[in-house]
Amino acid sequence: MKKDLTNVQPVFPMPVLVIAAYDAKGTVQTMNAAWGQICDYDKIALFLAEDHATTKAILESRAFTVALADRTHMAEADYVGIVSGNKVADKFARSGFTATKSARVNAPVIDQLPVAMECELAEVAQTKTLYAIVGTIVNTLADEAVLAENGKVDPAKLDAIAFDQFQNGYYAMGEKVGQAWNAGSALAKAALGK
């Protein structure tokens, strides 16, 4: 029997994304966000509040990076999510992260995080109930240490963390349990009478 949980947001897992952009002074502004998702083959949507220092920096520079947080850097990723750049001027320096300027967009790439998307601001989608930064993914960078033999990111090596809105926890991801576009093929064949 199911129990009513009221209006809990039951989407799990949620990504732990570390977003970074340069503000008008060239200072790195960064934050942790779970409300983000790929929304096209070359687009990512980040559902952020307008008043974040990082959001303001994205609007000023018109570029940003989105990195996937991993287990090794969970504390640093959490820190940039709980401390506001509007209140702590040297938030990034205190995080323990360092950054290198992207070769493709005017944004910082966080050195310690193994996978990062370099993005140009495509649009800001704003309605009565939604504020989203949409970026065009220009390039994705990955540390060689997280690549499989085929040159693609190996989720087991990435050791990315996910956020859970039920208990406010972080969980390690990476165990492969099936193959997409294959796990349900027997059911699909049966439905088609094959």
Q: Coil, strand or helix: which one is 51? A: coil
**Residue 162, token pair as written in the block:** 């996910």
State the chain's mean pLDDT as an integer: 94
Identify whether 8 is part of a domain. no
Identify whether 3 is part of a domain. no
Identify whether 108 is part of a domain. yes
What does 131-192 look like in DSSP terms, one character per residue?
EEEEEEEEEEEE-GGGB-TTSSB-HHHHTBEEEETTTTEEEE-------TTTTTHHHHHHHT
pTM: 0.93
Per cent of the chain over pLDDT 70 is 100
Say whether pLDDT at 194 is over 80. no
Question: What CATH number is attached to the domain comprising 134?
Answer: 2.30.110.10
pLDDT at 73: 97
Identify whether 7 is part of a domain. no
- Render pLDDT for 16-34 as a digit per residue (tens, 0 to 9): 999 999 999 999 999 999 9
- Render pLDDT for 85-119 as a digit per residue (tens, 0 to 9): 999 989 999 999 999 999 999 999 999 999 999 99
Structurally, how many domains does the chain consist of? 1
Say whether pLDDT at 5 is over 90. no
> How many other CB atoms are there within 10 angstroms of residue 38's CB atom?
12
Identify whether 4 is part of a domain. no
User: 156: domain range?
Assistant: 14-191
